[in-house]
Amino acid sequence: MALFSKIFSKLRSGSATSADWDELERSLIEADLGAPFAAEIIASARKLPKDEVERQLLAELRSHLSGANRDLAKAQNRPTTVIVVGVNGTGKTTSVAKLMELLNSKGQRVIVGAADTFRAAAIEQIQTWGARLGVEVIAGKAQGDPASVAFDSAKRAIEVSADYLLVDTAGRLHTKSGLMDELGKIRRVIEKSTPVDEVLLVVDATTGQNGITQAKLFAESVSVTGLILTKMDGSAKGGIALAIEAMTGIPVKFVGTGESAKDLQPFDGEAYLAGLIA
């Protein structure tokens, strides 16, 4: 993205003007940093001595990234339980398939609970991936009770001493409280058998500020421990990772970079900042 490279070279040659800073502010907004956040960054950078801008700006951007651990949780002597939440269409079910692939390729035994019972296609999608990878999928009937699928999958994960339990969930935002109640119930029934280690929220990077609003809303209601930022391949606006971490404090743990099961990368904060600056 190299958003800052132009201003840095102008600062080095002593030719940076007010118009250059304005242009940078516009490109930060276009990169989905959001207007108030972009204004804040520009205002503080403009106050810095010219030969300090690069170093201090990098430090400032870094301070807005979450300092939390970005590794996927790993429990000892019991299944690590990961609930995947997010609004429909963000890439939630695909992200569950990608996590199945990732963990399976590391020799981890995975059980999946297909608790997005609202969408028959989501259940089928997970079952197809499960069959392909040899991963057991616990599914109920379409329109069935998602909490009962979650409960059965937790029981099964313990029974077979699985390393990971991944639970897909529905994401209808018809009413906020309806969805959050459903997610709360899924969590509680799992916790009757085993602790929940991660709640990963899937956000579509191409939805910009709307994605940030979704993240805030979910973070207020369910204890989100990490983010999966999908469709980064289709977005030139990678500023959203910084904006979303600055606004919510939740670490991005993975980025989705395509539609196939292998298109999931761990998020590397330093490499990301280097990309913004370069």
Site residues, ligand GDP (CB under 6 A): 86, 88-94, 122, 171, 230-231, 233-234, 256-259, 263
What DSSP character marks residue 168?
Answer: E
Smallest distance from the beta carbon of 238 to ligand GDP, in angstroms?
13
**Which one, of 31, 47, 82, lies nearest residue 223 by Cα?**
82
CB of 82 to ligand GDP, least distance (A): 15
Give the Cα separation of 85 and 42 in Å (integer): 34
Q: C-beta of 3: minimal distance to ligand GDP in Å?
A: 22
For the bound state, the minimum distance from the C-beta of residue 116 to ligand GDP, rounded and expressed in Å, comes to: 7
Smallest gap from residue 142 Cβ to ligand GDP (A):
14
Closer CB to ligand GDP, 156 or 231, in the complex:
231
Q: Which one, 97 or 190, has the nearer CB to ligand GDP?
A: 97
**Cβ neighbours of residue 77 closer than 8 Å, sequence gap 6 or more:** none
Judged by beta carbon, residue 37 or residue 129, the one nearer ligand GDP is 129
Residue whose CB is less far from ligand GDP, 83 or 122: 122
CA dist., res. 123 & res. 140, Å (int): 8
What is the number of other CB atoms lying within 10 angstroms of the CB of residue 239?
A: 24
Between residues 71 and 233, which has the closer beta carbon with respect to ligand GDP? Answer: 233
Q: How far is the CB of 86 from ligand GDP (least distance, A)?
A: 6
- Angstrom distance (rounded) from CA 123 to CA 49: 57
Q: Which residue has the CB atom at the shortest distance from ligand GDP?
A: 256
Using the minimum distance from each CB to ligand GDP, give the nearer residue, 80 or 257. Answer: 257
Evaluate whether 134 touches 107 at the Cβ level (below 8 Å): no
Q: Hey, how many other C-beta atoms are within 10 angstroms of the C-beta on 97? A: 26
Q: Read out DSSP for 20-72?
A: HHHHHHHHHHHTTS-HHHHHHHHHHHHTS-GGGHHHHHHHHHHHHS--S--SP
Q: In angstroms, what CA-CA distances link 20 with 16, 46, 56, 273, 277?
A: 6, 11, 18, 21, 16
Nearer to ligand GDP, 4 or 129 (CB): 129
CB closer to ligand GDP, 93 vs 117: 93
Q: How much of the chain is helix, strand and coil, in % rounded to 5?
A: 50, 15, 35
Distance CA 139, CA 103 (A): 20
Minimum Å distance from CB 180 to ligand GDP? 17
274 in Cβ contact with 54 (< 8 Å): no
Q: Shortest approach of ligand GDP to residue 247 CB, angstroms?
A: 21
